[in-house]
Amino acid sequence: MKNKNGRYLAKKKKKFPMLWFFLILIALLLIGIVLIANHKEEPQTILGNDVTESKDNNQNTNSIAIPGYEAITLAANTKKQSTALKNPSHNMCLFRISLILEDGTVLWVSDYVKPGEISDNIELSKELEPGTYPNSMLKYECFTMDGNLSPLNGAETKLTLIVK
């Protein structure tokens, strides 16, 4: 293209051509960070999820349903597990669940789990070597849902931890 004087005009350079690239890159990074921060790992195994929920609409005030297992399987050499536990929906109390080894080592304590809800994935206090850990225990502490968190009758169910 020529100007009035018949000279060729230099091709107009785009201002900050890389700026848009970096802006888009930063935006994508921010979106990624937000998505990762909001991502809650879905448990692969939900213990207690197969419980008959026939009493869903008829919550039971006279008894507390405590899930029990002969054994549960955990992954070796990692604290983060893909297993979670459920408070049966027909209960009328909060659960606080602890996983305890035979020697008394507390491997995990859940937050308060409402009826029908699932705990966070188990995150152990220490990594376990592969093997079987007999006489381990799931301790269920039960609390009222009236805001006072008054302790109710609870249960302890013995089980074997299979770590592999």
Partner 1 sequence: MRKVISVILAAILIFSIPTTVSAESTTLTIDVPEASYILNVPANQAIDYLASEKNIGSITVSDTSGFSASKGITVSVTYDGQFATPKYACAINYSLVCKGTGSENRYDLKSGDYITFTGNADGTLNNNPTLPDGSPANELIVLIDTDCWDTALGGIYSTTITFNADVYFDVGM
Nearer to partner 1, 63 or 78 (CB): 63
Interacting positions 53-112 with partner 1 (CB under 8 A): 60-71, 88, 92-93
Q: How far is CA 3 from CA 13, 14, 15, 80, 129, in A?
A: 17, 19, 21, 69, 79
Provide the b/e sequence for 93-125 (b: ≥16 CB within 10 Å). Answer: bbbbbebbbeeeeebbebebbebeebbebbebe
Per CB under 8 A, does 144 bind partner 1? yes
Applying CB under 8 A, among 44, 78, 132, 153 the residue interacting with partner 1 is: 153
Helix (H, G, I), strand (E, B) or coil at 48: coil
Query: Are the C-beta atoms of residues 149 and 143 closer than 8 Å to each other?
Result: yes
> Closest approach of Cβ 124 to partner 1, in Å?
20
Closer to partner 1 by CB, 43 or 88: give it: 88
| Distance, CA of 141 to CA of 85 (rounded, Å) | 13
Number of residues that bind partner 1 (CB under 8 A): 29
The least distance separating partner 1 from the CB of residue 119, rounded to whole angstroms, comes to 17
Stretch that binds partner 1, among 7-15, 22-30, 114-122, 145-153 (CB under 8 A): 145-153
Least spacing, CB of residue 139 vs partner 1, in Å: 9
Tokens of 72: 């549960």
Amino acid type, 163: V
Residue 41 vs 56, nearer CB to partner 1: 56
Taking the complex as a whole, the smallest distance from the CB of residue 27 to partner 1 amounts, in Å, to 41
- Cα 89 from Cα 43, distance rounded (Å): 18
Parallel, antiparallel, or unpaired: how do β-strands 71-74 and 83-85 relate? unpaired
| Cβ closest to partner 1, residue 92 vs residue 106 | 92
Which residue type is seen at 1?
M
Residues that bind partner 1 (CB under 8 A): 50-52, 60-71, 88, 92-93, 144, 150-159
